[in-house]
Structure 1
Amino acid sequence: MAATAASADARPRPGAVPWVAMYHSVGDRSDDPYRITVTPERLDAQLGWLRRHGLRGVSVTELLAERARGGGRGLVGLTFDDGYADFVEHALPRLRRWGCGATLFVLPGRLGGVNTWDPLGPRRPLLSADGVRRAAAEGIEIGSHGLAHVDLTAADDAALRAETAGSRALLAEVTGAPAAGFCYPYGAVDGRAVAAVRAAGYRYACAIDPGPLTGPHALPRAHVGQHDTAVRLLLKTRLHRLRRRPPAGV
């Protein structure tokens, strides 16, 4: 499909920080105090908007690889945090429909559990090991979100190693392959956390708004929620360009 003026305007420009969207749960949002859930219908509409504007959602690994080759103009990263069980039921069919890939950040220390870190609830089931393997078999990149969803900036040295290197080793036992990516719980990141993630062997890591730490191991992301209709998505892609140019390697 030929790109329209609007679609060309929506595409990220070469040299900009990679545009990476951050999702969480996909399903029932009747009780959603943290506004982390989108309905399947809204996700479907958002992915359709991307495609109509000459964009395609991909995993972060694919996005960074294409950029390293000098391409990737029409690609955006899609990430889903926490590894909710509804990903397989609701997100996967929509990603397949629109020909999109994604990165799913899971908590290997909580597989089959619930999101106990959210004090207000509601309690949402997390993917089991079998669910994670099913997502991987469907072509979804699996990354680590740490072992138990703790703030790495408040972790002692032993906990920091467990959450980074330890979660990567445990996740490899589940999927049969080492994870390339890490995602900082709560988006909380400092230089010490970045150093631990890099030392653990991850090739990249996602944050939310890492400021001067922006780089391959602290990629900024844009939250995409239920209220992000076509106009809001277009504004988010445009505002994304205002981020400072990335350091080498992003």
Structure 2
Amino acid sequence: MAVPILAYHQIAVPPSSSAPFRSMVVHPQAFHRQMEWLKRLGIQGLSLREALPYISGAKTGKVAAITFDDSYLNVYENALPVLQEFGFTATNFVVVNQIGGSNIWDVPIGVAPAACMSLEQLRRWCSLGHEVGSHTLDHVHLPQLPMEQARRQISNSRGLLEDMIDEGVSSFCFPYGDETPLDRVLAYEAGYSAATTTRRGRARPTNDLFGLPRATIRRNDTWLHFIKKCTFG
């Protein structure tokens, strides 16, 4: 059975219509309605770590993996209470050198500054049963880096995260969805169990676990768009 891996970024009131990448900001009320739809459809929301047995075919059932890129503070404030309300778990992909910082990688393209979760908040996220994964050290375009720099971004981020949260880190997310076959090998060699991309589709047993597709959820997705992303593809 194919498993949708939902990809979110910020959960907050969207900025003005002229703001770059406004579509990546999902309103908290919309996020709540989307989690209600999952529940109504009998789909259990899981972290990527918990969804892997369903993706590989070792388990069967109606599940969706819920992932958040960049570890925004507004995810902690606005999405975490909703996940707790519905009994869902999720994966937060962390830019390690910006823990307690902000989305400085977005500044050159005009995206408004947004705070990232602190270490204390990430630890609480884990304590509630959610997963922390790596999104590299600095949110870089991995294919543009020399191999050793790419290896450092992928591998060192895992080691640092594990030391910080005192928990294993098994999931990785390629920033911007940029990756090559070499980057997938580097993620495997770094000790991850799976890695996600921005390729469209639902995850199947035939997929490369280090090139998993996802369904990006956007600000203007209607309830019908959301259901289609969860049930088709």
Asked if structure 1 preserves the Cα contact closer than 8 Å seen for 2:93 and 2:172, the reply is yes
Counterpart among 195, 205, 209 of residue 216 in structure 1: 209
The one-character-per-residue Cα deviations of 1:146-200 (angstroms, maximum 9, x if unpaired) are 0000011111122111111100011011111221000000011110100100000
- Which residue number corresponds to residue 47 of structure 2? 59
Hey, which of these two has a bigger chunk of helix by percent? 2
Change (3 A) 1:78 1:172: same
Counterpart among 126, 129, 136 of residue 126 in structure 2: 136
- Which residue number corresponds to residue 166 of structure 1? 156
- Which residue number corresponds to residue 20 of structure 2? 33
Please, what TM-score do these two structures have when normalized by structure 2? 0.91
Stretch deviating more after TM superposition (31-40 or 130-139): 31-40
Q: Percent identity?
A: 31
- Which residue number corresponds to residue 196 of structure 1? 186
5+ residue gaps, structure 1 = 1-13, 241-250
CA distance in 2, matches of 1:210, 1:191: 18
Is 1:44–2:29 an aligned residue pair? no
Deviation at 1:113, TM superposition (A): 1.1
Q: Secondary structure at the match of 1:76?
A: strand
Aligned length: 224
Is 1:154–2:144 an aligned residue pair? yes
- Which residue number corresponds to residue 243 of structure 1? none
CA distance in 2, matches of 1:72, 1:103: 20
The one-character-per-residue Cα deviations of 1:185-242 (angstroms, maximum 9, x if unpaired) are 001111010010000000000111189x9410110001012222221122223441xx
Deviation at 1:56, TM superposition (A): 1.5
Asked if structure 1 preserves the Cα contact closer than 8 Å seen for 2:64 and 2:230, the reply is no
5+ residue gaps, structure 2 = none
CA distance in 2, matches of 1:237, 1:133: 29
- Which residue number corresponds to residue 81 of structure 2? 93
- Which residue number corresponds to residue 103 of structure 1? 91
- Which residue number corresponds to residue 233 of structure 1? 226
- Which residue number corresponds to residue 19 of structure 1? 4
Q: Secondary structure at the match of 1:112?
A: coil
- Superposition misfits of 4+ residues, deviation over 6 angstroms: none
Backbone CA RMSD of aligned residues: 1.8
Change (3 A) 1:101 1:72: farther
Stretch deviating more after TM superposition (106-115 or 196-205): 106-115
CA distance in 2, matches of 1:102, 1:44: 14
Please, what TM-score do these two structures have when normalized by structure 1? 0.85
